[in-house]
Chains A and B, each alone.
Chain A
Amino acid sequence: ILNVEQSPQSLHVQEGDSTNFTCSFPSSNFYALHWYRWETAKSPEALFVMTLNGDEKKKGRISATLNTKEGYSYLYIKGSQPEDSATYLCAFPNTGNQFYFGTGTSLTVIP
């Protein structure tokens, strides 16, 4: 079982603020890093699949970066909105399709 850590565990921000959080993973034997958003009473939804060191991906106000050499990925949300409130999970596969999830960052955006 791989150790995938996310920080902070929870975050409260005001509407309009920008925020970011971290996923740390083992830097050896890197294959890919996934980010998911999990809203209450819904299913987890894939945001990004990142495979190359230095990758930067963007989807609307959300973006992510990847550093495979040091074993971390950042997720950024610009101008947070209440609908961004969710738990954000990263997942790190070892070989094949054994995905190991971090404990998540719970984001609450206060109107």
Chain B
Amino acid sequence: DTEVTQTPKHLVMGMTNKKSLKCEQHMGHRAMYWYKQKAKKPPELMFVYSYEKLSINESVPSRFSPECPNSSLLNLHLHALQPEDSALYLCASSQDPGVGSPLHFGNGTRLTVT
């Protein structure tokens, strides 16, 4: 079982909806990540939080809005998405925000935008 929990597992939303993806870890990890993965493509980095502060935003459109309420939680708020945003959204955490710490992934949220 993964130690990074993502909810919901599946989400279908219309282009005018507002929804949120949630991610939780209780390993005391200080870095948390959002990745987007489309079929047959590698996971693409979206956002990185280090010590609860946004440290990297990979030029992600503003219809995706991350939030880190505390060191254990990471949210991704979604608004006015497009059908091409349909993908698997993966959350990950690492002990330290450095290259030597492996990423621990959740099972992902499968998002479909209609």
| A residues neighboring B (CB under 8 Å) | 4, 31-32, 34, 36, 41-46, 49, 51, 89, 91, 93, 96-104
Question: B56 and A44: CB pair below 8 A?
Answer: no
Q: Whole-angstrom distance between the alpha carbons of A101 and B37 in the complex? A: 11
CA separation between A66 and B21, bound complex, in Å? 37
Quick one: given A97-B94, A102-B42, A103-B42, are A91 and B107 in contact (CB under 8 Å)? no
Chain B interface (Cβ < 8 Å from any Cβ of A): 2, 4, 31, 33, 40-45, 48, 50, 55-56, 58, 90, 94, 97-108
Q: Of B2, B44, B99, B106, which contacts A97 at CB under 8 A?
A: B99
With a 10 A CB-CB cut-off, give which of A36, A51, A99 has the most chain B CB atoms: A99
Contact A49 B100 (CB under 8 A): yes
Report yes or no: B97 in contact with A91, Cβ–Cβ below 8 A: no
Interface of B is mostly: loop
Asked if A43 and B105 make an inter-chain contact with CB atoms under 8 angstroms apart, the answer reads yes
Q: Which 4 A-B pairs have the closest CB atoms?
A: A46-B102, A101-B42, A32-B99, A43-B105
* Number of A-B residue pairs at CB separation under 8 A: 68
B45 and A98 within 8 A (CB): yes
A28 to B2, CA, bound (A): 34
> Which of A34, A45, A97 has a CB less than 8 Å from the CB of B31?
A97
- Of B4, B98, B99, B100, the contact of A43 (CB 8 Å cutoff): B4
